[in-house]
Structure 1
Amino acid sequence: MALIDRFGALSIGADYRRLWLAQAFSSFGEYLFASTSTVWVAVRLYPTDPRLPALIGVVILAASVPRIIFGPVAGVYADRWDSRKTMIVNDWIRVGVFATLLAVVQFADSSPGRVFAAIIICIILSEISAQFFNPSRAAVMQLVIPPDRRIEAASMSMFSLTGVAIMATATGPAVFGLFGARVAICVCIATYAISLMMTVRVQDEYQPQRQVAGHFWRDFADGARSAWHTPMLRVVLIGACFYGVSLGINSSVLALFGLKTLGLSPGQYGLLAMMFPLGNLVSAVFGIRLIRRIGVNRSYLLALSALGLGYVAYACVGQLVTACAVMLMCGAIFSIYIMCQGPILQEAVPEGYMGRISAVFGPMVSITSAASTLLASQALSYSAGRGFTAGDGSWRDPYRLLIIFGAAFLFIGGGGMYLVRARAHRRSRSTSPAVRDGTAGSSSEPPEKS
């Protein structure tokens, strides 16, 4: 029954299915080239170069920096422009960017330095284009999805994107190893071309009413004020920052904890790493009933705290089997957290503000994640100078302590926001006319809007 409910989201309408396919194929291209570019640089361009770690870092930064710099800018213009046409233009741009990269690889001087520069430029331009495409798609989705189907659609999106991420991340290096860079680039071009065809077929009637003044900074500030002054949007924004702290620490420590502290082999760590996306898939299939039962807003905050507890549990494990079980649970909880964000935004964001507000969250997560990654690296350097051995398995192990520190942000942040929200909700009910006049029909809390 859960599976029927899951894929029943496709019955929302033909335009929803086209937008869903456009998102799936464009995301497939992004994940595929991200995994391919890393292998390309490490295996073909600079396999023995001592600068390889720094070069891989440049590849990662090329994908991250555009989200921070161009995300808010793209949000303002996505609210000004025709959303559907913005998606179409940016799919054309990405097709052109990867076609140019293919021409460079095929015909230009193939020295490692020039190819590496072409890869970096391709990643940057593709990411900039994605910053315009994604908020525009979110604005159209807000109008296409009926309010009573938003949880269902968010669950479907989480299910498909997790599957896409797993398949594309595995497919990219495999295609590159078997057929070379040219074929991998052609696959990326094909995915964006399919996304383009799906978007072109979406009806032109889904256009949000624009709430813009015509001045960039005024429009940007207007969107930021709307995000902060709307209570549930403020909660989501703060929650995204808490998650960014944990993400930044975990991205640099989780793998080292598994390989060093737990002493896992690369094959065992690969099995452990699979558990998180597997938990995403499981929760995307079965979590929709839990969200409907608890309510979207409560589920969001409870999932944030539960994810913190999950990472604390992971930092305390000592065996592969236990670590796999805990990581599976963390993946399932994270899926709940992500599935709640879409419906919250679609309900709380005023029409005409989706581009600016949705574009705020990505840069905020990237900024807090980058800052916490820097904090983690400095903490590891400091602990090494103080004689603490990272990966020794003790309770003073810096890897273990950093994971717990990041998890504390999630647990305390989510729990604190939940208590504040619950207190404000009780206060609003106690001061409502129905309660003051004694005409309220029930003392139980009314069900949340979903």
Structure 2
Amino acid sequence: MSAWGMRDFRFLWGGRAISLLGSWLLVVAVPAHVYALTGSVFATGLTLAAEYLPALLLGPIAGVLVDRWDRRRVMIVADLFRAGAVAAMLIGTPAAIYVAVIAESVGAVLFRPAAQAHVPAVVGTGERLTSANSWNAATDGVVRLIGPPLGGVLLVWAGFEVLICLDVASYLVSAAAIALTRRRKAIRQERVTFDFKVFKQLKLARVLLPLSGVFLLANAALSALLVPFGVRNLGGSAQVGFVLSALGIGFLGGAVLARWLGRIQLRTALAAAQLATAGGFAVLFSAHDLTTAMIAATVIGMFGSVTVVAPQTALQRVADNAHLGRISAAFLVVEAFATLTGALAGPWLAESASLHFAAMTAAAITAIGALAAAVTVPRVMLATKRSNEQVDAHA
């Protein structure tokens, strides 16, 4: 609860939570609305491509801008821009929706690295940073749990236009909440460009970047297989919804678990969590009953959350705050590339061989990534800002 005692963090957390919920309300609604308009599976799938394309193209540029500009102001402007972009969906045509999704994603490409870099400036890099990231991880779990089904219900009950208005309002509330935080002294730099010097100087970032890509690629492949697997093996789409809810519950547990792992080394926490996630993947896609699948999904959510939160916390502590925007943007680019690649590779492998073979291959890749983390990640402790061991992270 240490971060919760800080007024500025409460505003940051509240704004992020509300805007995140607004976005997740549309996760089901936007593709469903496009499908209703076009009747085309391909046209519906383009909404995913439109969401991730800006991160691939603009991530490095966004990192430079975030490190050059005042991050608080960047987040406010990004929220206002996203509110306008989402409002454009009210035009109603598929083309307008694609353009709006791309524009909203552009705002997210600026907001996310700015937020990740700004949190340590608000709460510091000690115990409160772990607390802040745990709060954010718990929020992600709750939103993942309630956002998509709530959006689906509201789409049927109130209509697409109401959901759009709710998302617009969420971004406006987020911008107002961030505006209520105190201004902080900007980090002045003579010249900020995107280059690889940051990664050459910081071994931790250099090692974690490909490891993150491998994990997210496997995760995206399995996510793309979850719906057809649930329909074939678990009984239908309703059962898939229960599995997704179990993932959300696991994310909540992961937020608590991440706090307890602060006393051990990052390499140990990351390798153990990723190996447990790989085991959860294997059990889930071998399950023939809903109970086993939900237990496996809870394990995946819990340890998958740690796999994401622990490296983020370590980087926020070890890296110079003046470089965090570019580092976060680089990870955002890798996330977008890995997600798109995995979402295409998983179904392709399932059709070429079998769904079970594709799922077990992705689980094996996740396990190999865990072993690589145990060997390659520098000796960095999660609990403190600096220690003698952390010198190795810069080597």
Question: When the two structures are superposed, what TM-score results if normalisation uses the length of structure 2?
Answer: 0.89
Contact 2:254 2:306 in 1 (8 A): yes
1:390 corresponds in structure 2 to none
What is the CA deviation profile of residues 100-120 of structure 1, one whole-angstrom value per residue up to 9, with x for unaligned ones?
A: 443x35xxxxxxxxx111111
The equivalent of 1:439 in structure 2 is: none
Partner deviation per Cα, 1:401-436 (whole Å, 9 max, x = no partner): 2112111222112212213447x79xxxxxxxx9xx
Corresponding residue SS for 2:109: helix
The residue number in structure 1 matching 2:24 is 31
TM-superposed deviation, 1:359? 0.7
The letter of the residue matching 1:220 is: F
> How far off is 1:125 after superposition?
0.5
Aligned twin of 1:358 = 328
Residue type matched to 1:318 in 2? H
Report if the CA contact (8 A) 2:204-2:377 is conserved.
no
Shift of 1:263: 4.4
Aligned position for 1:184: 163
Contact 2:52–2:340 (CA under 8 A) maintained in structure 1: no
Q: Which residue of 1 aligns with 2:360?
A: 404
Q: What secondary structure, in the 3-state scheme, does the structure 1 residue paired with 2:194 have?
A: helix
CA displacement 1:142-174 (0-9 Å, x = unmatched) = 211222222111111100122123332222222
Q: Distance in 2 between matches of 1:163 and 1:414?
A: 27
1:255 aligns with 2:255: no
Match of 1:18, as an amino acid? Answer: F
Counterpart of 2:3 in structure 1 is 9
- Counterpart in the other structure of 1:230: 202
1:144-163 equivalences under 5 Å are 144-146=122-124, 147-163=126-142
Q: Aligned pair 1:203/2:182, yes or no?
A: yes
1:323 aligns with 2:293: yes
Given the alignment, which residue of 69, 81, 100 partners 1:93?
81
Alignment of 1:318-397 (within 5 A): 318-383=288-353
| Identical columns (%) | 24
Task: For structure 2, list consecutive stretches of 5 or more residues without a partner in the other structure.
Answer: 381-387
CA distance in 2, matches of 1:73, 1:54: 30
Structure with greater Cα Rg = 1
Alignment of 1:290-305 (within 5 A): 290-305=260-275
Find 2:119's aligned residue among 141, 145, 164.
141
RMSD over equivalenced CA pairs, Å: 2.5
Output the CA distance in 1 between the equivalents of 2:146 and 2:17.
11
TM-superposed CA distance for 1:336, in Å, is 1.5
Aligned length: 384
Structure 1 residue runs without a partner (length 5+): 1-6, 106-114, 384-397, 426-433, 435-444
User: Aligned partners of 1:31 and 1:163: how far apart in 2?
Assistant: 11
Contact 2:24-2:148 at 8 Å conserved across structures: yes
* Alignment equivalent of 1:165, drawn from 141, 144, 150: 144
Partner of 1:388: none
Who is 2:384 aligned against? none
CA contact (8 A) 1:23 1:195 kept: yes
CA distance in 2: counterparts of 1:206 and 1:17, whole angstroms = 20
Letter in structure 1 aligned against 2:33? W
Q: 2:85, 2:104 within 8 Å by CA — same for their partners in 1?
A: yes
Indicate the residue corresponding to 2:383 in structure 1. none
Q: Are the equivalent residues in 2 in contact too, given 1:210–1:351 (CA < 8 A)? A: no
Tell me, in whole angstroms, the C-alpha distance in 1 between the residues paired with 2:89 and 2:377. Answer: 50
Amino acid in structure 2 at the alignment position of 1:83: R
* Paired residue secondary structure (1:220): coil
What is the match of residue 112 of structure 1?
none
CA distance in 2, matches of 1:143, 1:197: 19
Instruction: Tell me: CA distance 1:367–1:288, structure 2 relative to 1, closer, same or farther (3 Å).
Output: closer
- More displaced 10-residue stretch of structure 1: 30-39 or 74-83: 30-39
Read off the aligned partner of 2:56 and give its amino acid letter: I
In 1, Cα distance between equivalents of 2:266 and 2:327: 19
Any idea what SS the aligned residue of 1:205 has?
coil
Residue 246 of structure 1: how far off its partner (Å):
0.6
Q: 1-side partners of 2:145 and 2:234: how far apart? A: 25
Q: Deviations over 1:157-197 (max 9, x none)?
A: 10012212333222222222222222211111110111011
User: Structure 1 CA distance, aligned partners of 2:259 and 2:220?
Assistant: 31
If the length of structure 1 is used for normalisation, what is the TM-score? 0.79
Specify the alignment match of 1:440 in structure 2.
none
Q: How many angstroms apart in 1 are the aligned matches of 2:85 and 2:377? A: 46
Cross-structure match for 2:194: 220
Distance change >3 Å, CA 197–CA 138, structure 1 → 2: same
Instruction: Judge conservation of contact 2:208–2:377 (CA < 8 Å) in 1.
Output: no
Q: Is the 8 A contact 2:76 2:175 kept in 1?
A: yes
The letter for the 2-side match of 1:14 is R
For residue 75 of structure 1, report the CA deviation from its aligned partner: 0.9
Say if 1:310 and 1:98 are closer, same or farther in 2 by CA, change over 3 A: closer
Cα drift, residue 356 of structure 1: 0.8
Q: Distance in 2 between matches of 1:233 and 1:210?
A: 23
Whole-Å separation in 2 of the counterparts to 1:319 and 1:232: 41
Cα drift, residue 55 of structure 1: 1.0
Equivalent residues of 2:13, 2:136 under 8 A apart: yes
Q: Which residue pairs with 1:442 in the alignment?
A: none
* Separation in structure 1 between the aligned mates of residue 294 and residue 164 of structure 2, nearest angstrom: 34
Q: Indicate the SS of the match to 2:321.
A: coil
Residue in structure 2 matching 1:40, options 23, 33, 41: 33
SS in 2 for 1:129: helix
8 Å contact kept, 1:18–1:198: yes
Per the TM alignment, residue 297 of structure 1 is displaced from its structure 2 partner at its CA by 4.4
**Aligned-partner Cα distance in 2 for 1:311–1:254:** 10
Change (3 A) 1:309 1:195: same
The answer on 1:19 being equivalent to 2:12 is: yes
Mapped to 2, the partners of 1:97 and 1:258 lie a distance apart of: 34
